């Protein structure tokens, strides 16, 4: 099958990508009290604002975002199921800090444990899930450190899975923004992080009310995650995501001394982003950009779809410009699994590529044997003879 290229010319309100980042010196009214912070547009990864983004600091329970990534990966792989009952160890039950008061030997579903982790930032729930996946907390922490290396992050090191203060347990605002983007790629996270209040142990005498530590999911328009934290070393920390229209922002705020001020300054940072920028959505995630004929496959053709939202970030004051999209589909070798990368899409302005992203297979296709292939061809011949 030959490689081919399709050029599509469209008209949208698009301008070329540039460096958008505003520093603390240019916008001194933002994050005045925070040690560091960053504002990122989620689909493009563009930095809209930063203050000391690479300063290495303690991060408290924002640590748990990496634990959440690993847990959701295990859910998606089938290694873990939401209704599986996990037995609490004495180690997990004895964790300090925020908790949902698990007792040694208590059995709780993965879903309720994850709810406790995500909404209440429960250390005991986090360790219980860590031990279920890796056997010990130490082994799970190794998975967390491996994950941040996989993401290319060099300023993040974990000593535990909860974020409790420990020498050498650290990260940066920038690294945490990358971690938050990765967490958001697992869409199930928003089913938990967007809820303000719920219950665990619902059908037992020990029904327990869980309230989200992230108050912005209730009071800030579009907010639906992600994580808050506090320790003596880290101060008050926050990772918030909010979506309005087609634009999702991620705000990381670290080292605040007062929780109310942290919430206020995070709100101001998000307001700045939504008031100043916009996203022009070229193609939504999952858009079919082509259909390719398949030889000797379990189906005759396969849809080629966008892996992510194909978006261009602009300031709201920018003018409208023309752009092109260029689609390249590689040779399709069977078998192929749904989600496998099979090509790329490029967005161009004035013949210059301003964005590139992956195209993926919309379904799985198996390779069929010769006799099945012959049978399909004979069936097509017979059908054609009658019609």
CA–CA gap between residue 117 and residue 129 (Å, rounded): 9
- Is residue 121 annotated as part of the catalytic site, yes or no? yes
- Which token pair is 32? 């005045």
Strand ranges (E), 104-161: 107-109
**In degrees to the nearest 10, what's the CA dihedral of 208, 214, 218, 222?**
-130
* Ramachandran angles phi, psi of 356, nearest 5°: -135, 140
For the chain, give percent helix, strand, coil, nearest 5: 30, 35, 35
User: If you ran DSSP here, which 8-state letter would residue 65 be given?
Assistant: H
- 3-state DSSP call for residue 356? strand
- Is residue 64 annotated as part of the catalytic site, yes or no? yes
CA–CA gap between residue 116 and residue 17 (Å, rounded): 40
CA–CA gap between residue 355 and residue 318 (Å, rounded): 18
CA–CA gap between residue 70 and residue 130 (Å, rounded): 9
* Ramachandran angles phi, psi of 320, nearest 5°: -85, 140
- Is residue 89 annotated as part of the catalytic site, yes or no? no
CB burial of residue 201 (10 Å; 0-12, 13-18, 19+): middle
- Residue recorded with tokens 């089938």: 78
Candidate list 36, 58, 121, 311, residue with the active-site label: 121
CA–CA gap between residue 245 and residue 251 (Å, rounded): 17
Cα radius of gyration rounded to whole Å, the chain: 24
CA–CA gap between residue 289 and residue 308 (Å, rounded): 13
**Crossing angle of the two packed helices 123-134 and 110-120, in degrees rounded to 10:** 140
Candidate list 61, 177, 193, 311, residue with the active-site label: 61
Q: Please, which residues have CB within 8 angstroms of residue 248's CB and are 6 or more apart in sequence?
A: 41, 42, 43, 184, 241, 242
Candidate list 35, 64, 147, 283, residue with the active-site label: 64
- 3-state DSSP call for residue 279? strand
The set of catalytic residues is 61, 64, 121
């Amino acid at each position: 099958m030959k490689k081919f290229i399709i050029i599509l010319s469209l008209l949208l309100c698009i301008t070329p990508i540039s460096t958008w980042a505003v520093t603390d010196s240019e916008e001194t009214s933002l994050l005045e009290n925070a040690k560091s912070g960053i504002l990122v547009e989620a689909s493009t990864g563009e930095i809209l604002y930063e203050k000391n983004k690479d300063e290495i600091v303690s991060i408290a329970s924002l640590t748990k975002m990496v634990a959440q990534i690993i847990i959701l990966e295990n859910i998606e792989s089938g290694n873990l199921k939401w209704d599986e009952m996990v037995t609490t160890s004495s180690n997990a039950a004895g964790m300090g800090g925020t908790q949902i008061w698990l007792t040694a030997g208590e059995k709780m579903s993965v879903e309720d444990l994850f709810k406790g982790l995500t909404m209440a930032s429960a250390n005991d729930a986090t360790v219980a899930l860590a031990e279920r996946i890796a056997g010990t907390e130490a082994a799970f922490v190794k998975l967390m450190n491996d994950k941040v290396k996989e993401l290319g992050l060099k300023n993040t090191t974990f000593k535990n899975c909860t974020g409790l203060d420990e020498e050498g347990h650290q990260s940066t605002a920038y690294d945490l923004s990358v971690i938050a983007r990765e967490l958001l790629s697992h869409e199930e996270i928003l089913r938990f992080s967007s809820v303000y209040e719920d219950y665990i142990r619902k059908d037992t005498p020990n029904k327990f009310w869980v309230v989200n530590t992230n108050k912005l999911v209730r009071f800030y328009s579009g907010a639906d995650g992600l994580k808050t934290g506090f320790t003596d070393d880290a101060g008050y920390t926050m990772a918030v995501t909010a979506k309005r229209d087609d634009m999702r922002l991620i705000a990381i705020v670290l080292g605040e001394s007062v929780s109310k001020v942290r919430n206020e300054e995070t709100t101001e940072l998000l307001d700045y982003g939504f008031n100043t920028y916009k996203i022009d959505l070229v193609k939504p995630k999952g858009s079919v950009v082509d259909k390719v004929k398949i030889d000797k496959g379990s189906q005759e053709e396969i849809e080629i779809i966008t892996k992510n939202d194909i978006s261009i970030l602009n300031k709201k004051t920018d003018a409208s410009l023309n752009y092109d999209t260029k689609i390249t589909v590689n040779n399709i070798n069977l078998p192929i699994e749904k989600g496998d990368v099979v090509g790329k899409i490029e967005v161009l302005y004035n013949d210059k590529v301003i964005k590139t992203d992956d195209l993926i297979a919309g379904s799985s296709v198996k390779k069929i044997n010769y006799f099945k292939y012959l049978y399909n061809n004979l069936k097509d011949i017979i059908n054609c003879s009658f019609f």
